[in-house]
């Protein structure tokens, strides 16, 4: 083993447990989810029902999974059981998509039980899928989408209490340039605000919580040391974004590649942050479902 490699690994392993995270969010658990299925893995989007006992998750290879979550008396996850085989999403002609057209990343639940899915391939867009249907219903595309960075466009997707969709790219185009946030309401796109970009943090997931606030999941990558995770929250009032607050920030390697975020309220009244990792279909990575909760 080369000296610099040994040093990096040693530094990572030597990090004290209490230094692994910062912010007011309290760590609850990591559940390693395993399913023996060739389409299992690569999860980039996540939504939980209001009671935290059903999930919908999206692979970046167009697989949509629905599952039941079993929890013990304390609310800890003890099992995650797929309710059926995954649904493979198709295009608006109900045909399978190519890799470049089928890079599915962001997920939002529609009020009718269907889903909205954002894509970041060579055709950045958002499509709607009725519950149980593989056929896409295209939504209007914003003119700005065609100028987004290749393979780093519409990564995060969220829906607010009024049914408006919000999406933003994984990268903003260059360091220091804010992330543009696009909003679709009444079939019209607008760009109501931007979110400051800090360092190498990338936007990978988003959700509106039961408190009406906008939650953003970000990721950084430090090579052999692994992934870093950060969650910020913002007030949205009168169409304007308030100052962000960091709820959670981990050191490198504390979790795997967390990309999907769902925010909900448990039976004790705590807001929970549930996240899922994209294992990139690699043996050295794993699918983690990670939960934190916020103080009241």
Q: Which residues contact 218 (CB under 8 A, 6 or more apart)?
A: 201, 202, 203, 204, 229, 230, 231, 232
d(Cα 118, Cα 104) in Å, to the nearest integer? 6
Q: What is the pLDDT of residue 173?
A: 82
Give 60-118 pLDDT, tens digit per residue. 999 999 999 999 999 999 999 999 899 999 999 999 999 889 999 999 999 999 999 99
The stretch 246-255 carries a mean pLDDT of 97
Per-residue model confidence as pLDDT tens digits over 216-236: 999 999 999 999 999 999 999
What are the residue boundaries of the structural domains of the chain, listed by start? 29-293
Beta bridge partners of 275: 261, 290
Question: CA 215 to CA 166: how far, in whole Å?
Answer: 11
**Which of 219, 289, 265 lies closest to 70, judged by CA?**
289
At residue 55 the predicted structure's pLDDT band, cuts being 50, 70 and 90, is very high
pLDDT tens column, 144-155: 999 998 788 999
Domain 29-293 homologous superfamily, CATH: Glycosyl hydrolase domain; family 43 (2.115.10.20)
pLDDT of 191 over the 90 cut: yes
Cα distances from 6 to residues 12, 224, 225, in angstroms, run: 10, 10, 11
């Amino acid at each position: 083993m080369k000296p610099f490699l040994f040093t990096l690994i040693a530094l990572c392993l030597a990090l004290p447990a209490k230094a692994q995270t910062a912010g007011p969010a309290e760590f609850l658990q990591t559940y390693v989810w395993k399913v023996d299925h060739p389409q299992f893995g690569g999860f980039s989007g996540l939504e939980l029902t209001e009671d935290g006992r059903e999930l919908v998750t999206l692979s970046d290879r167009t697989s949509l999974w629905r599952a039941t979550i079993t929890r013990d008396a304390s609310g800890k996850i003890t099992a995650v059981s797929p309710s059926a085989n995954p649904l493979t999403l198709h295009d608006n002609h109900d045909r399978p998509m190519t890799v470049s057209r089928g890079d599915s990343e962001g997920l939002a639940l529609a009020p009718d039980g269907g889903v909205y899915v954002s894509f970041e391939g060579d055709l950045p867009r958002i499509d709607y899928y009725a519950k149980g249907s593989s056929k896409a219903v295209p939504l209007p595309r914003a003119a700005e989408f065609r100028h987004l960075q290749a393979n780093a466009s519409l990564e995060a997707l969220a829906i607010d209490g009024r049914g408006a969709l919000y999406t933003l790219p994984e990268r903003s185009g260059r360091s220091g340039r804010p992330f543009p946030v696009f909003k679709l309401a009444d079939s019209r796109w607008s760009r109501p605000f931007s979110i400051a970009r800090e360092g190498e943090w990338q936007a990978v997931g988003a959700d509106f919580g039961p408190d009406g606030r906008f939650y953003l999941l970000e990721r950084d990558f430090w090579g052999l040391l692994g992934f870093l995770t950060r969650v910020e929250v913002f007030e949205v009032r009168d169409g304007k974004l308030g100052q962000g607050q960091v709820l959670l920030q981990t050191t490198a390697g504390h979790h795997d590649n967390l990309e999907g975020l769902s925010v909900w309220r448990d039976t004790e009244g705590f807001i929970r942050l549930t996240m899922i990792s994209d294992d990139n279909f690699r043996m050295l990575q794993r699918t983690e479902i990670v939960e934190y909760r916020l103080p009241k």
